[in-house]
């Protein structure tokens, strides 16, 4: 049992509300939701463009969750590090959602690996913002990623409110599945994550598998881990006017085979596997070259910044530059068109806490070929909305892509199933479940206070 669970004695286990409790009982047992929460995202701003730098699925997660929480009358103030002097101290992201920019370290040129040294300055900025309010301004702290967790730990202790933490990714899990040549996560992060697990009142996991990893790798108390699947913006990501119209808008051939990669370009996401798979396909069937387009939509990130031109050079070495189209990260509405235009999304990642990109593509009516890692077996319904691959052999990905070229109707058939599958992952559902986690954490905090007099 974790130190945190032992310290709380069994109070937490007795207060847990099982899933499936009838609504009328749940309303009696769960206390009021928080009025206002402090949400922490130290290393990446919800205002940044997903797909480049350190901005990715977590940015989308925070933006969409905050908006939906505000819609159910939970105000959200998001604290993030200022990355330029031109940023105003605060920006209204949406009604009820405020982004606060905190000065912590130089505005530019600071790598994520250097941010631990700025956590003290960031915490000071958060405390200064809090000091300008009446006591009790924030009812709860929700931190995202381990860097934010350390600030959240201190803030929650100082304010006397619960800490809810979402890992998003975990060092031990990433280090167990490194791509060739990738850099392992440092020991300092592992230790930091262990401390946060012990300090948090509740941990939010994207899937049951992630919950198991928290228990196995970090000795989290299972009753403290709540599984809440991320959602997808079903208003933005939908089949809309179809594949042909999206291809026309993007200047893509109407009858092409289009396997798409969308995301940050780094070894963890493994876009190189798609390029090798495409080379396999063209070697087996040279006629495909006349009707294949391979868009790679995203920018270098993380360890991928060490060789920002590496993927371009790989395409040249493989002799497939004529079919590969590199495109920079784009706004969400344009990204939805790339999904709609694609025959299939390819996601060969070595590690994914969930795989929001896979759900977004499916919501647009596009099937997915993905690695069977992390949350992707939840995000993708194998054999129905897509295909899951064990391992990272490009030949296996080529084998999974081949039927999309040879079987008429496969794209539309699996695409329709993909859209139906994605309908279960709305953000309103995710926000309601998250609000329930908040309510449980608040009740347990009150019970703990009562127990200690």
Binding site members: 43, 49-50, 54-59, 112, 145, 169, 189, 264, 269, 339-340, 342, 352, 360, 366
Contact, 42 vs 149, CB < 8 A? no
Half-sphere exposure of 251 (CA within 13 A, CB side): 3
The CA distance from 431 to 179, in Å, is 33
3-state secondary structure of 109: coil
**What are the percentages of helix, strand and coil residues in the chain, rounded to 5?**
50, 15, 35
Nearest alpha-carbon partner for 425 in 391, 378, 385, 383: 378
Residue with tokens 């009838």: 22
Binding residues for 1D-myo-inositol 3-phosphate: 43, 54-59, 112, 145, 169, 189
**CA dihedral in degrees (16, 207, 73, 450; nearest 10)?**
20
Strands (E) in 373-431, as ranges, are: 386-389
CB within 8 A of 431, min separation 6: which ones? 65, 68, 69, 71, 72, 231
Tell which phi-psi region holds residue 82, choosing left (phi > 0), alpha (psi between -120 and 50) or beta.
beta
3-state secondary structure of 321: coil
The CA distance from 412 to 367, in Å, is 9
Binding residues for Mg(2+): 339-340, 342, 366
Binding residues for UDP-N-acetyl-alpha-D-glucosamine: 49-50, 57, 264, 269, 352, 360
The CA distance from 102 to 45, in Å, is 11
The CA distance from 142 to 355, in Å, is 21
The CA distance from 193 to 267, in Å, is 23
């Amino acid at each position: 049992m974790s130190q945190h669970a032992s310290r709380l004695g069994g109070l937490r286990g007795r207060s847990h509300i099982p899933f499936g409790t009838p609504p009328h009982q749940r309303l009696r047992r769960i206390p009021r939701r928080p009025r206002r929460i402090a949400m922490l995202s130290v290393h990446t701003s919800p205002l940044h463009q997903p797909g480049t730098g350190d901005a990715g699925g977590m940015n989308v997660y925070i933006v969409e969750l905050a908006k939906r929480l505000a819609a159910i009358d939970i105000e959200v103030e998001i604290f993030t590090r200022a990355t330029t002097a031109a940023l105003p101290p605060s920006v209204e992201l949406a009604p009820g959602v405020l982004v606060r920019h905190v000065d912590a370290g130089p505005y530019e040129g600071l790598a994520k690996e250097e941010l631990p040294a700025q956590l003290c300055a960031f915490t000071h900025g958060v405390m200064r913002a809090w000091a300008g309010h009446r006591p009790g301004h924030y009812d709860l702290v929700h931190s995202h990623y381990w860097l934010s967790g350390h600030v959240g730990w201190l803030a929650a202790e100082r304010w006397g409110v619960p800490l809810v933490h979402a890992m998003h990714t975990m060092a031990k899990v990433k280090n167990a599945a490194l791509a060739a040549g990738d850099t392992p996560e440092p020991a300092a992060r592992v230790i930091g994550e262990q401390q946060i697990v012990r300090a948090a009142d509740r941990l939010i996991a994207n899937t049951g598998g992630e919950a198991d990893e928290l228990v196995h790798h970090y000795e989290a108390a299972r009753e403290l881990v709540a599984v809440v699947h991320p959602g997808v913006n079903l208003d933005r990501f939908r089949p809309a006017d179809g594949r042909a119209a999206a291809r026309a808008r993007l200047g893509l051939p109407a009858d092409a085979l289009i396997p798409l990669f969308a995301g940050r370009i780094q070894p963890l996401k493994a876009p190189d596997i798609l390029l090798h798979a495409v080379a396999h396909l063209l070697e087996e069937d040279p006629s495909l070259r006349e009707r294949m387009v391979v868009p790679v939509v995203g920018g270098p990130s993380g360890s991928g910044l060490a060789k920002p031109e590496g993927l371009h050079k790989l395409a040249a070495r493989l002799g497939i530059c004529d079919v590969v189209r590199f495109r920079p990260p784009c706004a969400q509405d344009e990204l939805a068109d790339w999904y709609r235009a694609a025959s299939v999304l390819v996601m060969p990642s070595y590690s994914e806490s969930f795989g929001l990109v896979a759900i977004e593509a499916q919501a647009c009516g596009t099937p997915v070929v993905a690695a069977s890692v992390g949350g992707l077996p939840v995000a993708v319904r194998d054999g129905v909305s897509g295909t899951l691959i064990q391992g990272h052999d490009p030949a296996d990905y080529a084998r999974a892509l081949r039927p999309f070229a040879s079987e008429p109707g496969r794209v539309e058939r699996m695409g329709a199933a993909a859209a139906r599958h994605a309908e279960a992952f709305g953000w309103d559902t995710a926000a309601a479940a998250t609000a329930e986690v908040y309510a449980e954490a608040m009740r347990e905090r009150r019970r703990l206070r009562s127990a200690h007099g």
